[in-house]
Structures are given as structure tokens and as C-alpha cells.
Structure 1
Amino acid sequence: MSLDEANAAPLSRFADLLTQALAQGRCDKLVLANYQGDDAQLGPDLQRVLARPVQLKGAPHLSLVLRYPTKDITRNLPLANGIQQVMAWAQARSFRNAHLHTPTEEVQLAFSKKGKASVRVGKPSNAEAAQARAEAAAAGRPGSAAVVSAPVDTTSAGHNRDKHRFLELSRPFLHELGVTDANGQLIPAMSRKWKQINKFVEVFAAALARSPLADQQEIHVVDFGSGKGYLTFAIHDWLRHSMGRDARVTGVELRDELVQLCQRVIGKLKLDGMDYEQGDVRDYHPAALNVMIALHACDVATDYAIHLGIRAGAEIIMCSPCCHKQIRPQLLSPHPLRPILQHGIHLGQEAEMLTDGLRALLLDAAGYDTQVFEFISLEHTNKNKMILAVKRAKAKSPDEVINQIRDIKAFYGIHEQCLESLLKADGLLPA
């Protein structure tokens, strides 16, 4: 019996298990490892292939990420074509191992040194299973764990949850930005930043799954005040290389030295669909915008960012406000709160709560489902509040919310709020 004849049965079994897992929505990921370097089309430098099921324009596809030392190439194929491609590589023995991960088992296709194929089915480790479920939930795949409709409470997350990551430390941009060392190991001083990056992607993934963008292939993201670009690069990497989306991500930053730094990283890594520009949210006009991000925009800069997102029709708006100077000098201390608000710290906290509460209500009135929550615990950053708004599929009357805004302003003596003024000037809210 020839080697090809001997391998026919295990290859057929693996193909059946892969096809069944994909059809039943149980495929969390597929990893093709130990590349043999003998495929002329793939080239000699390929490290491995990562495959995940995705929905593109309402149709199931297999997203194949070809990982090279300095770049990733994503190919999105219709499901049948994707399975055919994977099995063609398997039959050619281009990879020594293939690992199919599902919530309940791990299927391994392995080739011996002599090229003989074998299939082994076992149970995944608890950590692998939990990570696979988190990734499946974020992707919103049929048959996977339900996608959370609200952000995860970071203060009550269990011990194991700290180990779940939406990105891998091996990603090249992390080394270029100083998060990892030359060996791809986390630099201890960057551990808090690493946790923040992953939490941000987790929140974004849940919002994306329940937004009108869930099945949209092309996504335009603009990140205002993007700084050194930790989160900007992370969103680009997750969208393009983990999810297989045609993402266009632009970082907008005032400081020229940071713009130049990030442009150098983009050029060095040859990142498609990413750009860094110098600009200010008050006068920046993006050509297209689906996701508007503004973290730590000071005082009314947050209002201008939200206004830009609403005006551009962004499906997702993510803000982490910083400073709340406009409202505080306007505040009255109404009875019976006067004895409490005589303390400056309490007055500042009240101003912060009112400012962000009014922003959330104004987003609600503009057609968004809005949440205000703790983004990441205070041990990691003192700027930890997130305003997350996802555009509604169906419009509803804003009258009730507008009346609530009016009553709150009257109670506290607030005569002007920046976002409200901007929306009224544009006719997006009744004057």
C-alpha cells in the first residue's frame, strides 16, 4: 500500500470532523503548524496558518491568516473553498500538524517523519477552552457562546480570566511599540498597558457583534488623540488579522513626534489599511467613518468627538472622557444636596457624573444605545470610565429623553452643555 493510500482514511476523517465542526458552529479555530517550506506559492518563510469561521455579507467564510515573520496575509474564502484549501495543504503534507479547536475537543492531524498521517481526538485544557469560547463569543458565530450585550465587569472577573487575551504577544506591532522584547516576551513595566489593550479589544468586539457592522466586511475606524497608538494598532491588528475584516484604521494625533513614530512603525511592518495623521478633532473631516474612538480627550474635546461621530453616522462611538471643566462652574447646589456639595471633591465628582450622564442621554436622543461603565479597574489607570454607544437598527422618538435632559439641567442650573449646543446647531436635536 502506498503512503497516499495509507493516508486516505485519516485525511478523510479529519476533513469530516472539520466540515462538521464548521457546519454546526463549533469550530473555534484551526491552526496549521510546522510548515515544511515546500509550497512555491506560500514561500519559504511562512510560519503557520490560522483559520477561523467568519460571516461576510451574510455568508459563511473561512478566514485564513498566513503568518510570516514581518507580516500577515489574510485570505477570506467561501466555506467550501476554505475547507478545500486546507485539505489540499494537508494532502500535500505542507504542514506537519493541524489542530482543530472546538469548545469540547481538540482534533489533531499529525504527520510522522516518514509522512504517515494520524488523527487524534482529545479534550482541550480549561484555559484553551475558555479562550476559544471568549473568541467565539466576540466573533458572534452561530452555535458559539452568546455575545454579551453589555461590557464585562472587570472588577469581578475571575482569576483565570486575566489570562484570556484577544491578541497574541507575538504580534510584531507590540515589539515596535515597546510592549514586548526582541523575544516576544512581555516587558514587566508594560503589563498594565497590555491588560488595558486586551480589555479595550474585548469591549470593542462585543460592541461590534451587536452593531449594524456585525456582518460588514469593510470598516472605517478613526481614533482621535491616539497618542503612541497602542490601542489604534491593536484594533487594526484584531480586525484585519484575527477577524479577517477589510479594516481601514486612522490614528489622529496633535503631537508631531508621535505621528512620525507611528508612521515609521506602519512603514516598517508594511501594514495595509492603516494610517496616522496630524490633526484635531475640532476640524478633522474623515472621508468615511464607521467607528469613532476618542480616549482621554480633555474636557469639551470629548463633546466634539462625539458630535463628529454622530454627524458622520458612526455605528459605534467609544469615548473615555478626561476632565470635566465646563459643567462645574455652572452648578447650583440644590436643597437638600447643599451640605454634601460644599466639599470640593464631591462637587467635582458631581460635575463628572452630570457631564457624562448628559452625554449618554444626548447619544440616546441621537439614536444610540448607550452605556457608561468602568473600562478597566482603578489599579491600572485612574482614567477608567468608558462611554460606549452603538447605533440602533430602528429609530425611536427622542422626546422622553430630551425632557429628561431639560429637567436635569433645570435642577442643577446648567445653562449650556457643549455636545447639546453642537447637535442643536446642526439641527440634529430640536433647538
Structure 2
Amino acid sequence: MSASPSTPDARVQFLDLLGTALQGNTLVKLVLARPVGADPTLQRIIAKPLSVKGQPCLSLVYRHQTRDITRNLPSEQALALVAELLPGSFRNAHLFDAEGEVQLAFSKKGKPMLQRHGAQAPREAVVDNGHDREKKRYLTLSRPFLRDLGVTDAHGALIPSMSRKWKQINKFIEVFDHALASAPVPAGQTLRVADFGSGKGYLTFAMHDYLRNTLAREAKVTGVELRQDMVELCNAAAGRLEHPGLEFQCGDVRSVVPEAIEVMIALHACDIATDYAIHTGIRCNAAIIMCSPCCHKQVRPQLQSPGLLQPMLQYGLHLGQQAEMLTDSLRALYLEACGYETKVFEFISLEHTNKNKMILAVKRRQPVGNGALLEKIAQLKAFYGVQEHCLETLLRADRLL
């Protein structure tokens, strides 16, 4: 490691190196850390190169405490943004390329220093050309369940009409894999998974296959589906494919109530069915809760437009969006109050719907007090005139809040 003298040119040198890496297609990853901007929830920005319609871009992920926001910008525009953020919004920057790492740090007085690390860039930080190349897949097309469910043909090739579903499956497993890495679940423990609204079983089979065959984990995975024909179809496939520990039951989140689970999944449960699903996960002390809400009917009729917001919320579309945001924000906050680290982010749309929001909650290893958070929830409800939220009602009935 070598360090150059602290000179005003260190920042310029770093930006020049970043520009060179972008032009030469050698950039692996850029990380902006030590935030000092006005947004206290922003933790860091992670940027990776990609190509959109042949144009070189940077994909910037703004990592907040409870959500991630992604922006794809042309390289020149992204370089200008980074220059604007240093050092006003971030005091550290890490540039990874094929030769190693370059770190830019600013002192409390704003003096920059450049450090060069000769070690190779992290193995997992492979240049990602995004939209113009195949991304990392957590499952392979050779898995038998994909052929049985009609995702691949008899030769193991992806059926073109199922390409979107294939991407959805892998994105789902990617989100789950990252959550599992931080969840308080012992490595040798059997994972009990409940997937409510499992449908044809694409994600249920993928979850079971990934746990058993990729991670070599013991797993008992249950798909819950209201349509009896889908239950029979999936159970028959599980039998043919020899998926021990995978079963499907007819019912919904109110009729099938497990005693204990480690992972609770409910994608596109309509209206308050999402609240019942989250409540089931909390009551069962699930380590991971994955929900993709659908419909937001309970809160909207209660919503009272605060005076300042009345001109904006007089439009039905905006009122509906506000009700959706409020409903899911309260869900995330209730999860936080029950001891979960929670994120709300955009997820790839599943088939037959344009809903793509996911609420991901991972149980904290150490509990924290929730008094201040409950007070904030009460203030938020009062601001909008909300008298009842289904999840709160369920949690208070079980004395979980």
C-alpha cells in the first residue's frame, strides 16, 4: 500500500482514474461511503457498469436503511454526479478495477488523500454489462423441475416465452440468498418454509431446489394454494421429481396456520391477506418474511387528506398511490417494531401483474426497544386520520405489539 501526500489534486486524480476506468471498460465497482449529506437514512452508493441499448452506463444503487433505490445514468452524467457528491455528500470513495483498489478519503478539514491497494479486486465484483449480457444465475437451466413445469424444453433449453419467468425465479432466489446470509438461523438447522399463494409452484420448487441441492440444507417447504387443481399438479410433480420435504396444501393464509417456520413467503396476497401473512410470519417467529403486497383497500376509505396535501390528493390516482405508500410503510414499521430489519424495494414483476414492490424483513439478532417507533406510527396514523390497520389489529390481539 502506498499513500500520496495530502494535496488538493487527490480528488481530481481520483476522478480522472474513474473516468479512465469508465472509458477503458475496466471499472469493476465504485463505492461512495461515509455519508455527510442531508439525508440521514442514506448509507452508501454502490455503482457498477452496465450497457443499456449499447450505451455505457453506471447503475447506482442508493443504499438506505430500509430501502434501495437504483438509478441508471450514462457514464459522463454519472461521472459528473460523483464529482458533485465528493466531498459534499460522501467523505470516502473506493474504486475497484482490474488492477486493484484506489481509495479517496477526506479529513475533517476536507483535505483529500489517495491510497492505492495493489490486491486484486474482489472475486464477486465481476464487471456487469447488465441489459446486454447474461447476469449471474442462482439456478441452472438443467434443473429437472424447470423442464417439468414448462420453463425449459426436453433438451434443457429455455423456452423463449418463459424467459421473463426465468429471470423472476433467479431474482427471487437472489433476494432470498442475501436475506438468509444475515438471518439468525443456525447453519445446521432444518429450514421450514411456507409459501402462501404458491400457484403453479415455480418459486416454491425453486426455493426447495436451491436449499437442498445448492446450499445442501435440510428443508421442509410447503406451498399453500386455494386452487385444488394447482395443488394436485404440484404434488404430482414433487413426487415425480423426488423432492423430499416439498408438499402443497389447499387453503390460504387464514386456513393453513403453521406452528413454526423460518421463512414466510406471500407474493401478491390481495389487500389484508398480506397483513394476515405478515402476522403469521411474526407469530411463528420467522427469521425471514418476504411479501409482495397487492391491492390496498382497507386504508384508502379512512384516509383524510391533511390540509396542505388536499390539492395534491384531490386526484384519485394520487390518493390511491398515497394509500398504497401509507399502507406498506405502516406494514414495514410494524415489522420493525416487532424486531425485524425491514426493506421496501422494487422487485421484478411477476407474471400476470404489474405489482413489483417487495417488503423484506429479517429478524434482528438482538432485540431493540420499540417505544419511540410506536409513537411515530401513532403520529403517522393521526396525520392521515387512519383509525385501523389490519396488521396492527392482529398483532395487538396476540399481544405481539
Q: Taking structure 2 as the reference length, what is the TM-score of the superposition?
A: 0.67
The residue aligned with 2:317 is 345
Query: C-alpha separation between the residues in 1 aligned to 2:255 and 2:286?
Result: 17
Q: Could you tell me which of 133, 148, 167 is aligned with 2:139?
A: 167
- State the Cα deviation string for residues 326-365 of structure 1 (Å, max 9, x = none): 0001001111110110111101100100000000000000
Distance in 1 (alpha carbons) for counterparts of 2:66 and 2:219: 24
**Cα distance change on mapping 1:164 and 1:305 into 2, 3 Å:** same
Please tell me whether residue 187 in structure 1 is matched to residue 159 in structure 2: yes
Q: 1:161 to 1:214 in 2, by over 3 A?
A: farther
AA of the residue aligned to 1:382: N
Amino acid at match of 2:312: I
SS of residue paired to 1:372? strand
Whether the 8 Å contact between 2:296 and 2:323 is mirrored in structure 1 is: yes
Secondary structure in 2 matching 1:212? coil
Task: Find 1:247's aligned residue among 219, 225, 242.
Answer: 219
State the secondary structure of the residue aligned to 2:342: strand
Of 361, 369, 379, which residue of structure 1 is paired with 2:341? Answer: 369
1:15-164 equivalence runs, <5 A:
156=72, 158-159=129-130, 162-164=134-136
Whether the 8 Å contact between 2:263 and 2:288 is mirrored in structure 1 is: yes
2:365 maps to which of 387, 393, 401: 393
CA contact (8 A) 1:151 1:203 kept: no
Number of matched pairs: 285
1:283 maps onto 2:255 in alignment: yes
Where do 1:176-255 residues align within 5 Å?
A: 176-213=148-185, 215-255=187-227
Q: Is 2:241 the partner of 1:269?
A: yes
User: Partner of 2:281 in structure 1?
Assistant: 309
Say if 2:195 and 2:223, in contact at 8 Å, map to a contact too: yes
Which amino acid in the other structure matches residue 386 of structure 1? M
Question: Quick one: distance in 2 between partners of 1:293 and 1:346?
Answer: 29
Shift in CA distance, 280/378, structure 1 to aligned 2, threshold 3 Å: closer
Q: Distance in 2 between matches of 1:155 and 1:284?
A: 40
**Shift in Å, 1:151:** 8.1
Match status 1:383 vs 2:355 = yes
What secondary structure does 1:202 align onto?
helix
Classify the secondary structure of the residue corresponding to 1:163: coil
3-state SS of the aligned residue for 2:138?
coil
Structure 1 position 215, deviation (Å)? 2.0
Deviation per CA, 1:371-415, whole angstroms, max 9, x where unpaired? 000012699951100000000111111111100110010000000
Q: For the Cα contact (< 8 Å) 2:224–2:248, is it kept in 1?
A: yes
Q: Report if aligned partners of 2:68, 2:345 keep a CA contact under 8 Å in 1.
A: no
Secondary structure of the corresponding residue to residue 420 of structure 1: helix
Q: Which amino acid aligns with 1:203?
A: V
Structure 2 CA distance for partners of 1:414 and 1:152, relative to 1, 3 Å:
closer
Alpha-carbon separation, structure 2, partners of 1:154 and 1:246 = 35
Q: Are 1:213 and 1:315, in contact at CA under 8 Å, matched by a contact in 2?
A: yes
CA contact (8 A) 1:154 1:376 kept: no
**Shift in Å, 1:217:** 3.4
Per-residue deviation, residues 200-225 of structure 1 (Å, max 9, x unmatched): 00000000000112624311000001
Larger mean Cα displacement after TM superposition, 291-300 or 371-380: 371-380
Deviation at 1:163, TM superposition (A): 2.4
- Deviations 1:12-47 (CA, angstroms, capped at 9, x unpaired): xxxxxxxxxxxxxxxxxxxxxxxxxxxxxxxxxxxx
When residues 182 and 272 of structure 1 are mapped into structure 2, their CA distance, relative to the original with a 3 A threshold, is: same
Question: Aligned in 2, Cα 1:166/1:154: closer, same or farther, shift over 3 Å?
Answer: farther
Q: Distance in 2 between matches of 1:313 and 1:171?
A: 32
Q: Please, what TM-score do these two structures have when normalized by structure 1?
A: 0.63
Kept after mapping to 1: 8 A contact 2:168/2:350 = no
Counterpart Cα distance in 2 of 1:155 and 1:274: 39
**How much has 1:288 moved relative to structure 2?**
3.0
Q: Distance in 1 between matches of 2:67 and 2:166?
A: 18
The farther-off stretch of 284-293 and 237-246 is 284-293
The whole-number CA distance in structure 2 between the counterparts of 1:377 and 1:224 is: 17
- Structure 2 gaps of 5+ residues are 1-27, 30-62, 73-127
User: Match of 2:307, SS?
Assistant: coil
**SS of 1:209's equivalent?**
helix
SS at match of 1:337: helix
Q: For structure 1, which runs of at least 5 residues remain unmatched after alignment?
A: 1-128, 131-147
CA RMSD across the alignment: 2.4
Query: Contact 1:154 / 1:377 at 8 angstroms: preserved in 2?
Result: no
Q: 1:154–1:263: structure 2 CA closer, same or farther, 3 Å change rule?
A: farther
Residues 1:323 and 1:339: Cα distance change in structure 2 (over 3 Å)? same
Tell me, yes or no, if structure 1 residue 424 matches structure 2 residue 386.
Answer: no
Deviation at residue 158 of structure 1 after TM alignment: 4.0
**SS of structure 2 residue aligned to 1:206:** helix
Aligned equivalents of 1:153 and 1:269: distance in 2?
39
Distance 2:260 2:71 in 1: 36
Aligned equivalents of 2:250 and 2:129: distance in 1? 40
